[in-house]
Structure 1
Amino acid sequence: MDDPADLPTPRIASDRLLSPPGTVDVSIIERYIPSSTLNEINDMFSLSDQSVLVDRLVELSPNGGCLTIIYPTKTGGQIFQQQYLDPIMEPTLRYMMTMFDLSADLAKIVSELTAVGRSLDFDDFSTHLEALCETLSEGNASVQARLHNIPGMFRIISAEKHQVKIPSEIWSKWLLQQEKSRLQEALRLYRTSGGRPPRDGVFQQFVLHAEMVKKLGEKACAAKPDQGIEVGVYVIKRGA
């Protein structure tokens, strides 16, 4: 799985089904950079409507439908932080402080927002996934309601670790997309708490639009990670 040619923008959010229940033969969930929140992991293994994982499992055909999950491990998150993110974030923040009159306090907030969230290691993720499959296969009333009363057995048929090297222009774009709303909120809270706003409000444009993407892209191109990001690759099959 090294050097994928065309990695899609990661999408880990859903509160509704994308296809009718029990109709999908092949499905996939992909994330290559770590989430910055714990809610994603907590929701993923719950039966709530916020679980994109359960949504995709509900959609699987009971006649052998398969779901592939690609998700960064805790080790992958650490590699991303140390070899991908830190080398470009620190010089980017120094640039922001110098060129846009960004205060040290706000720079610290921005840095914290881009910190890697707490990921599960490969074995812990596997354990949670196995428990979810067992719960969905039990068939009690609440589970059947979530499955739209389409019975089926769920089992993990493959679980492996891989390393994936992601082009800098792709992962830096993902990072900005992921953190955009949180950066906006950090700036709002900083201003309302009495913090010194950046000169002429230019920081907001810098963060939210092309300038920060450009600067991160420049720094990312100069970064030379030694390792790919470790991800877990799991395949779940649904049967009658």
Structure 2
Amino acid sequence: MKILIFGGSGGIGLAIIKQLLTQGDNHVVATYHAHCPAYRHPQLEWQALDITNEAQLLSLSATVGSLDWVINCVGVLHDSSHQPEKNLKSIDRDWFLTSIETNALPTLLIAKHFGANLKPSLFAKLAVVSARVGSISDNKLGGWYSYRSSKAALNMLIKGISIEWRRLLPQACVLALHPGTTDTQLSAPFQANVAAGKLFSPEYVADCFIKLIEQSTPEDSGIFLAYDGSVIAW
């Protein structure tokens, strides 16, 4: 299979790449933003890309050729100046928009420009890393306004894309996937309160995600799944 992974330099993305390249005859094209990872493999091609830049996405779609899977692992929760908001007083307009631009909009643009790349495949898959905190019905604690809102928007996009693709790419499956708390840079500031046994390695999450994507069918398109295969309410 030929697989495109956005965010291949992140913890989950890189773990997925490594696992895919040990299974069968897979060819992986993976993107990074600032720094190209040191990991190399004969069946791996690295591409520098700003996922928020539509012109760069369009250029990649025009050159990458036919694809079987597209996986978007890009996401932002915090940076050196911003942490998840604890209250309304903490809201920063620009950070809210950055969260939407990074966590939600790219998947819409990916679907716009890479649907044609997936169309020839008999087992086309579009999977994105979402988060349980993006579930509106599961929100019992409040806070984290920017991250929650951007992931809720992502989930709605996945639902909408799946409906349109039932007509345009009926063989495709579109999935939102929740990794649980994974031992990556994104979750590092919040790991102290994670229950024992609930901090997962990127390798474990990658294995779970690949199995979920492999097992999914067009009838599953448009659902929100946790790493263990359980369905999460929107």
Comparing both chains, which one has the higher relative contact order based on Cα–Cα distances under 8 Å and sequence gaps of 6 or more?
A: 1
Compute the TM-score of the two structures, normalised by the length of structure 2: 0.38
Q: Whose Rg is larger?
A: 1
Compute the TM-score of the two structures, normalised by the length of structure 1: 0.38
Which structure shows the bigger proportion of residues in helix conformation? 1
